[in-house]
Structure 1
Amino acid sequence: MYCPKCRTQFIETVKECSDCKVPLVNELPEEKPIEKVKWVALPPVKGDIYADMVEEVLQNKNIPHFTKSDWFTTAYSLSGANYLGARSVIFVPEENHDEAAQLIKELLGK
């Protein structure tokens, strides 16, 4: 038995996914191949705090994204926006770039 939403496998006696609260199915549908996406960078933001804010807006608008933080943030697990050189770059699919850039401008005034 499998959850059609999160794809978790369960024993035969379980009838509903405990996380997703959906009925289980006997077999999962075949996975579709992932399409190639051209990722483009949005203007950098000052550190992971601002990146988190932007990510939340993008997520609410269902815009796929990922964030790449600077070396200090990732190497030393630093958090914030005030240390010198703090920056994060958010990437979105090319077809969502203009909409995402406008959302950042509205949110951060950039």
Structure 2
Amino acid sequence: MFCPECKSEFIEGIIKCPECNVELIDELPEEPAAVFVAYKEALATYNPADIAFLKSVLDSEGIQYFFKGEHFMYVRPLADPARLMIRIDQFEEATQILKDIKLSFMGINLGNQNMDH
């Protein structure tokens, strides 16, 4: 017998989970398989203001992204830029949104060389 909430297993005869206070079930449902999502680098920047601006633009458009190395740049500024990684199935849409954006003098646009590949 299993608790559907905490997934604990109990011996026969127990019908209710003492922790969750719910009735037990015979078997737990199968967990959904993990889904792999690929990301592609669009650009890089050393400037936290660029990052904040890009986040607001991408969030407003529903683009899934993350900045690789964003927190490292606060520890060692100018050692490595933060790299904007965009979900591969949204990459074309995102690059169209970002194509006319001018980053600060600290920005490095890597997207032009990656967009065609």
Q: What TM-score do the two structures reach when normalised by structure 2?
A: 0.50
Go from structure 1 to structure 2 and tell me whether the alpha carbon gap of 1:31 and 1:59 turns closer, same or farther (over 3 Å shift). farther
SS at match of 1:59: helix
Pairs within 5 Å for 1:67-86: 67-69=67-69, 73-76=73-76
Unaligned 5+ residue runs, structure 1?
1-29, 79-83
State, as a whole percentage, how many aligned pairs show the same letter. 19
SS at match of 2:52: helix
Go from structure 1 to structure 2 and tell me whether the alpha carbon gap of 1:105 and 1:36 turns closer, same or farther (over 3 Å shift). same
Compute the displacement of 1:42 (Å).
0.6
Higher Cα Rg: structure 1 or 2? 2
Query: For the Cα contact (< 8 Å) 2:42–2:95, is it kept in 1?
Result: yes
Q: What value does the CA root-mean-square deviation take over the aligned residues?
A: 3.2
Query: For the Cα contact (< 8 Å) 1:42–1:92, is it kept in 2?
Result: yes
Residue of structure 2 equivalent to 1:42: 42
Matched, 1:57 2:57: yes
Compute the displacement of 1:107 (Å).
2.2
User: Which has the larger share of strand?
Assistant: 2
Unaligned 5+ residue runs, structure 2?
1-29, 104-108, 110-117
**Structure 1 CA distance for aligned equivalents of residues 75 and 46 of structure 2:** 17
Amino acid at match of 1:89: R
Which of these residues, 93, 102, 108, is aligned with residue 99 of structure 1?
Answer: 93
Query: For the Cα contact (< 8 Å) 1:39–1:94, is it kept in 2?
Result: yes
Compute the displacement of 1:100 (Å).
1.2
**Structure 1 CA distance for aligned equivalents of residues 99 and 69 of structure 2:** 20
Query: For the Cα contact (< 8 Å) 1:58–1:100, is it kept in 2?
Result: yes
SS at match of 1:106: coil
Q: What TM-score do the two structures reach when normalised by structure 1?
A: 0.53
